[in-house]
Amino acid sequence: MSLLLSHQNNVAPKRSAYETALERAAENGHTDIVINLLDHSIEEPAKKQEMVHRIFCLASYNNHPEVLLWALENGANINGQVKQALQEIPLSWAASRGHNDIVRLLLTKGANQHARRPHQPLSSAVNYGFASTVMLLIDTHIAGCGGGSYRDFFNEEKLCKDFVHYGFIVAAQHGHAHIVRLFVDLGFDLERYPKVGHSALMMAAQEGHESIARMLVEMWVNVNAEDGKESLWSSRNNMEGMIWWHS
C-alpha cells in the first residue's frame, strides 16, 4: 500500500467512471482501504466529498453496511445523487438489489422512500421482483403514518398516483406475477382504478407474460377496454402473445 501511495497520480487510474481503485474497494467492502486511499488521493474538499457520496452509493448497491456507515459518518448525503452515471438515491440502489438489511438501515437513518431521483425505491424493488423489499417499504410507510391497513395504503389517492399505479404496471411489464398478486391480495382495487388494470394487461400482453395476462382477466379487467391512447388489441407485438384467448 505504501508503494502505491507514493505514486499519487496512479492511486485512482480511470478506465471508466466506476473503475477507480477507491470504487473497487468500496464495491467489495474494504473499508480500511477506502479510508487509506481517500486520505492520500484526493485533497480538494469538494471532490473528496463527492467521492464519499459515490462510495456511499456503491456500498448501498453492493450490500456493505460497514462502508455505508463510514460514508454516512463522513458526510454522505443519505438522499443525494451522484453526478454522471449514478442517478438513483442510495435507497433505490439497495432496493433494486433486494438488500433488505441495507434498506432497513437507510430508513432508520432518515432515507426518504418517496423521493423520485429518478425512481422511487418501491418502484425499484418492484422492477426487479423483490417482494420482501416491497413489503418492507410498505410496512415502513404504514408505520410512519401511524398505522393502518394495507387496503388504505394501496388506495390512498396520492400514493397510488405517485407509485402504486406505476409499480403495478411495471410488475406486469416485467413478468413479476408474484408482485401483481401481492398488490391485489393486499388490497389494491382494480375496479377503482380500471385504467391501471388496462395498462397492466396491455403491457403483460405486449411482453408475452401469459400467466399475468390470464390473472388480470380473471380479476375482471375488461379485455376490450382502452387505456386512453390505443386499444389492447392494437398494441404492438401483442396479437401473437394473445392468440390463446381465441383457442
What CATH number should be reported for the domain holding residue 216? 1.25.40
Listing DSSP states for 29-44 in one string gives: T-HHHHHHHHHHH--S
What CATH number should be reported for the domain holding residue 22? 1.25.40.20
| 160 and 76 fall within a common domain | no
180 φ/ψ sector (left φ>0, alpha ψ -120 to 50, else beta): alpha
User: Of residues 42 and 93, which shows the higher confidence score?
Assistant: 93
pLDDT by residue (tens digit) across 75-125?
999 998 766 555 788 999 999 999 999 999 999 999 998 877 667 898 899
| 42 and 97 fall within a common domain | yes
Looking at the structure of the chain, the number of domains it has is 2
| 105 and 165 fall within a common domain | no
Q: How far is CA 188 from the centre of its chain?
A: 20
| 9 and 97 fall within a common domain | yes
- What mean pLDDT do residues 20-45 have? 86
Question: Taking the alpha carbons of 185, 187, 189, 195 in that order, is the dihedral positive or negative?
Answer: negative
**Domain, as residue range, for 176:** 149-247
- What mean pLDDT do residues 177-195 have? 88
| 100 and 156 fall within a common domain | no
Whole-number pLDDT of residue 235: 39
- Grid cell in block for residue 43: 485533497
| 78 and 178 fall within a common domain | no
65 part of a folded domain: yes
The confidence band for 140, taking pLDDT boundaries of 50, 70 and 90, is very high
State the DSSP code for 242. H
- Short-list 116, 175, 107, CA closest to 136: 107
| 79 and 156 fall within a common domain | no
77 part of a folded domain: yes
